[in-house]
Each structure stands twice: as C-alpha cells, then as structure tokens.
C-alpha cells in the first residue's frame, strides 16, 4: 500500500534534505511534485488542496527563517501533514463502565464486515477481553454460517436468531450479559450499494443495542467510492471509526488518506489480508513514517 506515493515522496525528500538554502522557486517546484504524487495516489482533491496549502505555509516559513536545514523542516511538515490526513492519533478503545462494550459493524456487502468482525473479536481477546459475536446479517444467506466458522477458529461464541436482525441484536446483548461476555460485536447486513432500506435496518439495530463504537468497514480498493460510502453512512449512523479493509490489495492509498478529512473520523484498524491475524490497530504516525521511507 502507498507504494507509488512512497516512491515519489522518497525521491522528493532526497532532493531537498540537506539543502543549505531553499528559495521560493524551490518550494514551488517541490509543491508541484507533492501535489501530483498525492493526486496520482487517488487522494480526494479537496484533501490534496488543504494538505498542500499547509505544507506550503511551513515550507515558505522555512525559506524565510534562515533555519539551518530548511529541507529537513519541509520533510517534517510533509510528515506531519500525512499523519494528520491519516487521522492524527491512534484511536484508543475506552471500555464501557457497565459491560458489555458494544461495537456495531456497518458497511457495504463484500467490504469485509464479517471477516473483520471476527478479526476484531480476536483482537479484543488478545487484550484480555471476552467477546461475543452477533450475526445480525440475515440478508446474505451464508453470512451467519461464515461468522460461526470464524468464531470457532478463534474460540469466540456466536449468537444469532434467524427470525429478525433487530431482535437478534437485542437478544445478543441480553445473551452477553447473561454469559458475562464483556465485549459485544454485532455484524450487520450490507447491500451492494447504499439504499434506504439497508440504512433503516442498521439504524434500528443501532437503536436496539446503543453501541459504544460504530465502526464502518470500507474496502480500500474502491478508492474514492469508499470515501463517498463513508459520507453516506456517516449521515445516518454516528460513525466512530473506520476499519480499512483490503489494504494489502490497494497500492495507491487514496481512501486511507482522504477519509479522516471527509468524515472527521479516524481509521481505527487496518485489515491487510484474508487471514484472521492480518489485522492491526492503525497508527497514523507510523504509517506516515513508512510512506516517507
Ligand atoms: P462482508 O460481505 O462485508 O461481510 O464481507 P466478507 O467479510 O465476507 O469479505 C469479503 C471477501 O473479502 C472475503 O473473501 C474475505 O476473505 C475478503 N477480505 C476481507 N478482508 C480482507 C483483507 O484485508 N484483505 C484481503 N485480501 N481480503 C479480505
């Protein structure tokens, strides 16, 4: 992921690092290259504009301040702005004082909701928690079975009721309390595209379990469409964070760099493969550092 952007930015950084002096003309040239690199990485144009404006401001400041190493200051500005675009700080989970902590998973069909529900359950287990998975995706015939299979692999129980998704969510919450499970993860139905019926169902499920966290799973490979999806979901549900899935298949990284600025919510977790352990908390600063090489 970010392969091209990383290559391009590394080249730019090499050119300006260690330069004793930077002129405004140098800054203009560097900014042109950064802008092109970001646009080619499929970053949302509004995001490109604001990121570039802020880097430029720092860069011009560096040319005027007669700083020892102005090139280094520009590199730092690029690093800071990438970190900011990627969400700023790592989202840390605050557990509900009265368990269970409820997590609602939303997203389009095929985005990786079911897989990532299990991955997240496994992550919570590694934090010493005892999750319960709820299969409230009754739309896709195999979804609950898939969740049961994944749950068995990580030794996490799965609750579902074939009757009704909202009832399933509600009863799942009761089941978690009864069994003393301290985290509840509710997988919901997706559709191929946003539609009113789907939004209403997930809104009702949300109302039934009153989630502490609502995570939107988006497929990184869908680029700017993913950002539009995020905007649409955020209008209906209060999204707390994004789970960016299929980051392993996305060489450009445009969705990851755009989503925070567009919906104002950070990427909480990154999914980087089909295997259940290919999942990690998302650290914007580390990712920015990796992009810059
Ligand atoms: P859902 O319809 O949103 O529940 O999507 P699924 O969880 O069934 O995932 C759809 C497909 O994407 C499955 O084949 C998953 O194995 C695959 N998948 C999910 N996450 C990732 C990921 O991070 N990387 C890759 N390469 N595949 C993924």
Q: For residue 258, what pLDDT is reported?
A: 93
Q: Which residues pair with 185 in a beta bridge?
A: 103, 133
> Is 135 assigned a ligand-binding role in the annotation?
no
ipTM field: 0.99
* pTM of the full structure: 0.94
Which pLDDT belongs to residue 13? Answer: 87
277 lines ligand 1 (CB under 6 A): no
**Annotated binding-site residue? 9:** no
Q: Which has the closest alpha carbon to 77: 93, 50, 56, 98?
A: 56
Give the C-alpha separation, 6 to 149, whole Å: 38
CA-to-CA distance for 96 and 98, rounded, in angstroms? 5
Give residues with Cβ within 8 angstroms of 262, minimum separation 6: 44, 46, 47, 227, 230, 231
Tokens 């995706």 locate to 137
Listed in order, strand segments (DSSP E) in 88-238 are 101-107, 131-136, 158-159, 183-188, 213-219
- Is 236's C-beta closer than 6 angstroms to any atom of ligand 1? no
Q: What is d(CA 87, CA 256) in angstroms, rounded to the nearest whole number? A: 9
Tell me the C-alpha to C-alpha distance, in Å, between residue 273 and each of 70, 112, 278: 40, 10, 5
Distance of CA 69 to the CA centre of its chain: 35
273 Cβ inside 6 Å of ligand 1: yes
Is 187 among the annotated ligand-binding positions? yes
C-alpha closest to that of 74 among 63, 66, 84, 83: 63
Two structure tokens written together for 126: 């590694």
Pairwise CA distance, residues 186 & 169, whole Å: 7
178 CB neighbour count, 10 Å cutoff:
10
Residue 118 makes CB contacts below 8 A (sequence gap 6+) with: 133, 147, 150, 151, 153, 154, 156, 276
pLDDT in tens, the chain (293 residues): 788 899 999 998 888 887 778 889 999 999 999 999 999 999 999 999 999 999 999 999 888 876 678 888 889 999 999 999 999 999 999 999 999 999 999 999 999 999 999 999 999 999 999 999 999 999 887 999 999 999 999 999 999 998 999 999 999 999 999 999 999 999 999 887 778 888 999 999 999 999 999 999 999 999 988 999 999 999 989 999 999 999 999 888 999 999 999 999 999 999 999 999 999 999 999 999 999 88
**Does ligand 1 come within 6 angstroms of the Cβ of 117?**
no
- Give just the sign of the alpha carbon dihedral 72, 79, 61, 40: positive
Other CB atoms within a 10 A radius of the CB of residue 92 amount to 7
Query: How many angstroms does the Cα of residue 110 sit away from the middle of ligand 1?
Result: 6
Beta sheet of 101-107, edge-to-edge order: 158-159, 131-136, 183-188, 101-107, 213-219, 241-245, 267-271, 279-281
Counting other chains too, the contacts that 192-198 makes at CB distance below 8 Å and 24 or more residues apart are: 192/108, 192/109, 192/110, 193/108, 194/108, 194/229, 194/232, 194/233
């Amino acid at each position: 992921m970010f392969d091209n952007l990383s290559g391009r930015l590394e080249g730019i950084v090499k050119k300006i690092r260690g330069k004793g002096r930077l002129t405004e003309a140098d800054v203009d040239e560097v900014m042109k290259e950064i802008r092109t690199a970001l646009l080619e990485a499929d970053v949302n144009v509004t995001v490109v504009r604001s990121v570039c404006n802020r880097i430029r401001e720092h860069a011009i400041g560096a040319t005027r301040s007669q700083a020892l190493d102005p090139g280094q200051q520009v590199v730092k500005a690029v690093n800071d702005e990438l970190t900011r675009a990627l969400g700023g700080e790592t989202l840390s989970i605050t557990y509900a004082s009265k368990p269970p902590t409820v997590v609602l998973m939303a997203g389009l069909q095929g985005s990786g909701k079911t897989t990532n529900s299990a991955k997240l359950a496994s992550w919570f287990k590694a934090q010493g928690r005892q999750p319960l998975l709820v299969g409230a995706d009754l739309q896709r015939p195999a979804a609950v079975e898939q969740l049961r299979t994944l749950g068995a692999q990580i030794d996490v129980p799965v609750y579902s009721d074939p009757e009704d998704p909202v009832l399933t969510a509600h009863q799942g919450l009761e089941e978690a309390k009864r069994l003393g499970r301290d985290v509840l993860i509710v997988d919901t139905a997706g559709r191929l595209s946003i539609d009113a019926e789907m939004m209403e169902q997930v809104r009702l499920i949300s109302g039934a379990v009153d989630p502490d966290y609502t995570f939107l799973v988006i497929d990184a490979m869908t680029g700017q469409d993913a950002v539009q999806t995020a905007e649409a979901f955020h209008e209906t549900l209060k999204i707390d964070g994004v789970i960016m899935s299929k980051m392993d298949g996305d060489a450009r990284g445009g969705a990851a760099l755009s989503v925070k600025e567009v919906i104002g919510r950070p990427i909480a977790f990154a999914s980087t493969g089909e295997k259940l352990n290919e999942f990690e908390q998302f650290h914007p600063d580390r990712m920015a550092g990796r992009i810059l090489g």
